[in-house]
């Protein structure tokens, strides 16, 4: 702990292999975070080897270092082959209660989803207009679409995109956003599993 510099270096943090994935590392780290917040130290620095990077990411560490180098240079050893990582602590987060809070949030979200799904259980027959030669229909004409909560956005109310290149770029951007969102969800589920 370097109080004058405003950070603590985590030199070594390990849980024996047969006890891993039980939450002990997270439990320890959460208590350590709250202790440091009480002492107004809001940054952890650590050098993580390739096997520890995943653990530290799950604990909120990042390779993006915000602590100025002048604050830690000469205070911590530079380890060859290891990656410097930082965790910025948020005094508003009750770290020792975090796993309970996330569990409760997941339960609430699950109940909300179940309620919403119960409201939209009706199954509509498929669209037959395309068999009759219709090439497109407005989204709001699809039976049941409004019941799902769908509303036309401001962009959709405006002019329709007809240029194929513009449409291609719009759909390409949308696909990229979907991929990023999916990746975030996967990472969030992985980090929640470790708490």
Q: Which active-site residues does the annotation give?
A: 9
Q: How far apart are CA 47 and CA 83, in angstroms?
A: 5
Contact between 98 and 195 under an 8 Å Cβ cutoff? The reply is yes
Nearest to 86 by CA among 69, 63, 68: 63
Q: Residue 104, CB half-sphere, CA atoms under 13 Å: how many?
A: 5
Q: How far apart are CA 161 and CA 104, in angstroms?
A: 43
Pairing of strands 83-88, 8-10: unpaired
Residues in the chain, how many?
195
Burial class (CB in 10 A: 0-12, 13-18, 19+), 46: buried
Per DSSP, the residues of 121-186 read -PPPPPP-TTTTT-----GGGSTTTGGGT----HHHHSPPP--HHHHHHHHHHHHHHHHHHHHHHH
């Amino acid at each position: 702990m370097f109080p004058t510099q405003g950070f603590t270096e985590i030199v070594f943090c390990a849980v024996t292999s047969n006890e891993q994935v039980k939450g002990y590392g997270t439990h320890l780290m959460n208590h350590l975070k709250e202790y440091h917040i009480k002492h107004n130290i809001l940054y952890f620095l650590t050098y993580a080897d390739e096997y520890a990077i995943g653990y530290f990411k799950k604990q909120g560490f990042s390779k993006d270092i915000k602590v100025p180098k002048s604050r830690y240079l000469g205070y911590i050893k530079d380890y060859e082959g290891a990656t410097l990582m930082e965790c910025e602590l948020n005094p508003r987060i009750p770290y020792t209660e975090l796993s309970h809070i996330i569990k409760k949030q997941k339960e609430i979200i699950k109940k909300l989803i179940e309620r919403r799904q119960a409201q939209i259980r009706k199954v509509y027959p498929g669209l037959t207009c395309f068999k009759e030669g219709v090439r497109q229909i407005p989204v709001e004409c699809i039976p049941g679409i409004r019941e799902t909560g769908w509303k036309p956005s401001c962009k959709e109310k405006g002019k329709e995109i007809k240029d194929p290149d513009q449409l291609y770029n719009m759909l390409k951007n949308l696909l990229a956003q979907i991929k990023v969102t999916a990746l975030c969800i996967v990472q969030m589920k992985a980090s929640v599993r470790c708490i």
